[in-house]
């Protein structure tokens, strides 16, 4: 089987609690970003961005996650807030994923979302090819005022979520996949 297809079929998300360090180095993240930029992109609008959350800024992100939790539930107890904070601190490496929708006469928003999806997949595959495991995570908090403001998003920008990345030893728990026959069918022309 060709190497790329093998990497693609082996890809499997691993959650931050099961990841260990080290996180990718900057040059590896740059390679990953190069892979993301290789996604099909009608009119080269570049609707996808990755933002690295450095270790030194994780606590600041935890504060923002706590603020988002309070925004959703103003009476949230300490346990809920602590859990929200932990989500920002889990996983050796963390990337925020932002989709910037542009106005274009020939490229509707749905095409730009598809471009972002392809860029996300390239990102995950590149991380796996470099020997890491990763998982894309979102949650309602990504639409919170606290997070939108922390990432300085304008009205056309969406925080898709976060990619946790690190090393993983041993077996992975594989998500079910559909059979090829469930994905591929033959077109039957409809009678006029
Ligand atoms: C945009 C996006 C957001 C996601 N958000 C979550 C999430 O918040 N929590 C979660 O458990 N899985 C989430 N997932 C799904 C996982 O990242 C993962 O794809 C899923 O567990 C299936 O595993 P697999 O990638 O190995 O097929 C999200 C996927 C995408 C594409």
Provide the CA 16 distance to its chain's centre, in angstroms.
Answer: 13
Kindly give the number of the ligand 1 atom that is closest to the alpha carbon of 138.
8
For a mutational test of ligand 1's pocket, the pick from 50, 138, 168, i.e. the residue with the most ligand atoms closer than 8 A to its C-beta, is: 138
Dist CA 95 CA 56 (whole Å)? 14
What is the Cα–Cα distance from 54 to 2, expressed in whole angstroms? 35
Superfamily of domain 9-183: NADH Oxidase (3.40.109.10)
The tens digit of pLDDT for each residue in 92-135 reads: 999 999 999 999 999 999 999 999 999 999 999 999 999 999 99
What pTM was estimated for this model as a whole? Answer: 0.97
Strand order in the sheet with 48-52: 48-52, 93-100, 157-166, 133-137
Residue 192 confidence class, pLDDT cut points 50, 70, 90: confident
**What is the rounded distance in angstroms from the CA atom of residue 147 to the CA atom of residue 175?**
29
d(CA 45, ligand 1 centre) in Å: 25
Calculate the alpha carbon distances from 40 to 84, 119, 121 in Å. 35, 8, 11
User: Residue 18 and residue 119: Cα distance in Å, rounded?
Assistant: 24
> In the beta sheet, which residues pair with residue 158?
99
Pairing of strands 93-100, 133-137: unpaired
**Angle subtended at Cα 14 by Cα 10 and Cα 17, rounded to the nearest 5 degrees:** 160
Atom of ligand 1 nearest to the CA of 117: 31
pLDDT, one tens digit per residue, over 143-173 is 999 999 999 999 999 999 999 999 999 899 9
pLDDT tens-digit readout, 23-46: 999 999 999 999 999 999 999 999
Closest CA to 99 of 19, 30, 153: 153
What is the distance in A from the centroid of ligand 1 to the CA of 139? 10
Residue nearest to atom 12 of ligand 1 (CA): 137
């Amino acid at each position: 089987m060709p190497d790329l297809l093998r990497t693609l079929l082996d890809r499997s998300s691993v959650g931050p609690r099961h990841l260990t360090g080290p996180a990718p180095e900057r040059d590896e993240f740059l390679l990953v970003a190069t892979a993301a930029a290789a996604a099909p992109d009608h009119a080269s609008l570049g609707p996808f961005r990755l933002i690295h959350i450095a270790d030194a800024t994780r606590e600041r992100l935890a504060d923002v996650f706590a603020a988002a939790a309070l925004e959703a539930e103003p009476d949230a107890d300490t346990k809920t807030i602590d859990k929200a904070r932990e989500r920002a601190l889990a996983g050796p490496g963390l990337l925020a994923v932002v989709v910037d929708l542009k106005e274009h006469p020939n490229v509707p928003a749905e095409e730009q979302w598809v471009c972002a999806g392809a860029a996300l997949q390239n990102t995950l595959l590149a991380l796996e090819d470099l020997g890491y495991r990763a998982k894309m995570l979102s949650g309602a908090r990504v639409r919170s005022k606290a997070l939108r403001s922390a990432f300085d998003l304008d009205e056309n920008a969406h925080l898709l979520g976060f990619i946790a990345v690190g090393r993983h030893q041993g077996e992975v728990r594989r998500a079910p996949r559909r059979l090829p026959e469930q994905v591929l069918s033959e077109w039957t022309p409809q009678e006029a």
